């Protein structure tokens, strides 16, 4: 798809996708932490489970930190077309995961 022909700036699109991904990452952590607090969920990712057991600050620092580093890397490589494709895929995937979590928490 030729974004320039549609009047869409590739840089701004990537920026908004990465910002959305960053916010969805926070939502994912918040919903996971809430579901664990409710007593209905356990963290199956053992790395994240370690940080969640270490405390909210540690979990937040790890999860936000690792996604921020990844996003900065994508931003540095923004000249490559594959970066935009990866950002679109990741944001869509995270949106699906967060939507599923919201519906699941609402069902409790």
Partner 1 sequence: MLLAGTVLGAAGYRLEHALWVRGPEAVRTAEGWRIAGREGRQFSGLALHGARLLWQSGPVIRMVDLDSGKIRLLGPGADARATWPPALGGRYAVWFETADPGRRGAEVIAYDTERGRRWRVARLGDVYSLAAVSGDVAVWCTADRDGEPRVAGLRIASGQPLEIAPEYGVPVVSGDLVVWGRGTTGPFTARELSSGHTRPVAAGDLGGELTAYALAGRDLAWGQLEGSGGRVAVVDVDTGATRLVALGVPGLVGPAFDGTTVVWVQAASGSRAGAATDTSAVMGRRLDGGATFEVATVEGSVTEVAVSGGTVAWLASVRGAPRVETKELPR
Binding site for partner 1 (CB under 8 A): 17, 20, 37-42, 88, 91-100, 103-104, 107-108
Least distance (Å) between residue 103 CB and partner 1: 4
Least distance (Å) between residue 46 CB and partner 1: 14
Phi, psi of 23 (to 5 degrees): -70, -40
Considering the complex, state which of residue 14 and residue 59 has its C-beta at the smaller distance from partner 1: 14
Phi-psi region of 27 (alpha: psi -120 to 50; beta: other; left: phi over 0): alpha
Considering the complex, state which of residue 38 and residue 61 has its C-beta at the smaller distance from partner 1: 38
Here the tokens at position 29 are 């952590």
Here the tokens at position 84 are 């935009």
């Amino acid at each position: 798809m030729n974004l320039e022909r549609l009047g869409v700036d590739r840089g701004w699109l990537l920026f908004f996708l990465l910002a959305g991904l960053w916010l969805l990452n926070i939502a994912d952590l918040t919903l996971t932490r809430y579901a664990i607090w409710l007593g209905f969920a356990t963290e199956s990712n053992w790395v994240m489970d370690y940080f969640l057991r270490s405390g909210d600050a540690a979990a937040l620092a790890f999860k936000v930190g690792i996604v921020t580093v990844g996003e900065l890397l994508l931003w540095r490589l923004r000249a490559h077309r594959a970066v935009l494709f990866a950002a679109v895929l990741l944001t869509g995937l995270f949106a699906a995961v967060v939507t599923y979590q919201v519906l699941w928490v609402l069902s409790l």
